[in-house]
């Protein structure tokens, strides 16, 4: 999920694995003849082999083979921005242990959908905001915070607690962001509502979300 320098020639690479988050050191990763060159990147899905240290949380990466590269994400800044935001949510909220498998699958599916969008075969209608809302709603579901969305009365709520009035069109769109919106304002209003919901019910960085939303809202 993240790559940071460890030394002049090595990286610390953090992964989201089906059994939890794993942090490894890729020693010599940036040397010209390193085996690790081109074998991992931020949006890759990889098979990894590492030596688990008995002490500490950082392990030695032994082998790494990319399974899904998603090279198309490099071709659009909006896709890259969304991919980074999705990784941020997964890093902040995914638990350790077997429950992280659902987060791993959700993140992989979201990155695959972004890559298809850039590649010219959209996985669903609605543009980049639809991708954001789809993953955010999935994240809320995994957190056990799925909102109740009443399209008939135009109310957005969390199990009867805080209620946010929205139009029936926005409520209907929130129930299924994969459906085409009647106009561009509906996805924007839906994104605003989800932002308010995250602000009150999830501990995340609103400034990051605002920046990403501003980037993907540009035509």
E strands within the chain?
2-5, 11-17, 20-26, 45-51, 58-68, 148-150, 155-157, 163-165
Task: Give domain 2-68's CATH number out of 3.30.360.10, 2.40.50.140, 2.30.110.10, 3.40.1380.10.
Answer: 2.40.50.140
Q: What is the pLDDT of residue 148?
A: 80
Specify the pairing of strand 45-51 against strand 20-26: unpaired
Q: What is the pLDDT of residue 66?
A: 96
Interaxial angle between packed helices 127-142 and 100-119, expressed in degrees from 0 to 180 and rounded to the nearest 10 = 170
Q: Which residues of the chain, if any, have pLDDT below 50?
A: none
Query: How many residues appear in the chain?
Result: 219
Residue 70 CA to residue 119 CA, distance in Å, equals 10
Check if the beta carbon of residue 25 is closer than 8 Å to that of residue 12. Answer: yes
This prediction's pTM:
0.91
Per-residue model confidence as pLDDT tens digits over 173-197: 998 998 888 888 999 999 998 998 8
**What is the token pair recorded at 122?**
């959209």
Q: Which residues are paired to 60 by β-bridges?
A: 25, 51
Residue 160 CA to residue 85 CA, distance in Å, equals 29
The alpha carbon of residue 148 and the mean position of all alpha carbons in its chain are separated, in whole angstroms, by 22
Q: For residue 122, how many C-alpha atoms fall within 13 Å in the half-sphere facing its CB? A: 10
Per-residue model confidence as pLDDT tens digits over 110-130: 999 999 999 776 666 668 999
Q: What is the pLDDT of residue 46?
A: 97
Check if the beta carbon of residue 135 is closer than 8 Å to that of residue 110. Answer: yes
Residue entry with tokens 């839906």: 190
Residue ranges matching CATH 2.40.50.140 in the chain? 2-68
């Amino acid at each position: 999920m993240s790559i940071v320098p460890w030394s002049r020639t090595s990286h610390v690479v953090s992964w989201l694995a089906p059994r939890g988050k794993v942090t490894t050191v890729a020693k010599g990763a940036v040397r010209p003849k390193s085996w690790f060159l081109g074998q991992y990147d931020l949006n890759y899905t990889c098979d990894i082999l590492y030596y688990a240290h008995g002490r500490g949380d950082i392990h030695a990466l032994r082998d790494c083979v990319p399974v899904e590269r998603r090279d198309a994400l490099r071709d659009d800044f909006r896709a890259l921005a969304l991919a980074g935001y999705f990784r941020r949510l997964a890093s902040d909220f995914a638990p350790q242990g077997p429950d992280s498998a659902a987060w791993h699958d959700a993140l992989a599916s979201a990155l695959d959908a972004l890559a298809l969008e850039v590649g010219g075969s959209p996985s669903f209608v609605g543009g980049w905001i639809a991708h954001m809302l789809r993953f955010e709603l999935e994240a809320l579901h995994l957190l056990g915070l799925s909102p109740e969305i009443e399209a008939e009365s135009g109310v957005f709520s969390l199990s009867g607690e805080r209620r946010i009035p929205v139009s029936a069109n926005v409520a209907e769109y929130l129930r299924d962001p994969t459906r085409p919106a009647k106009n561009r304002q509906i996805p924007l209003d839906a994104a605003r509502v989800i932002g308010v919901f995250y602000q009150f019910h999830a501990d995340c960085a609103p400034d990051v979300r605002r920046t990403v939303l501003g980037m993907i809202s540009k035509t």
